[in-house]
Amino acid sequence: MIVGSGGIFTCIVIAIVGMGNYFLLNSDFGIPGSPFLAIFGIIIYGILANFCFTGGWLTELIVRRVWPQEADRFATTSFSLGLFLSILLTLTPAIVIGTAGVFKLVSHFLGLVHH
């Protein structure tokens, strides 16, 4: 739910930046491809994220077998690190596109003021 919430936030930021550029600047924000390409990217992200998640618990099972005394500490650390990196990965498009959108909007309005 935490990572999913980050994904929803990312989609909202991208939609706001895209619509803002379309309606305020009459621009498509330079995002190549069709909406189907974006949906394909989301599906690939989901598959890869689940693959990585599965790798995490498989690694934990191996650690439990090989180093049973370290298994609990490894599980807590790997879960926390994995959750943090998953949230960061999920929010990265919002951070990049949101920042680029703000800079584009500000530069557009500063350009209007100077003319």
- Kindly list the domain boundaries of the chain, sorted by start residue: 2-114
Q: What pLDDT score was predicted for residue 32?
A: 59
Per DSSP, 26 falls in state S
Half-sphere exposure for 59 (CA within 13 Å, toward CB): 13
CB environment 27-51: b (16+ within 10 A), e (fewer): eebeeeeeeeeeeeeeeeeeeeeee
Per DSSP, 68 falls in state G
Half-sphere exposure for 62 (CA within 13 Å, toward CB): 6
> What digits encode the pLDDT tens for the residues 11-21?
899 888 888 88
Q: What pLDDT score was predicted for residue 113?
A: 57
Residue 22 has pLDDT above 90, yes or no: no
Cα–Cα distance measured from residue 42 to residue 46, given in angstroms and rounded to the nearest whole number: 6
> What digits encode the pLDDT tens for the residues 54-101?
777 788 888 889 998 988 888 888 888 888 888 888 888 889 888 988
CA distances from residue 76 to 60, 64, 71, 80, 83 in whole angstroms, order as listed? 10, 13, 9, 6, 11
Q: What pLDDT score was predicted for residue 84?
A: 85
Identify which of 73, 93, 88, 111 has the alpha carbon closest to the alpha carbon of residue 10.
93
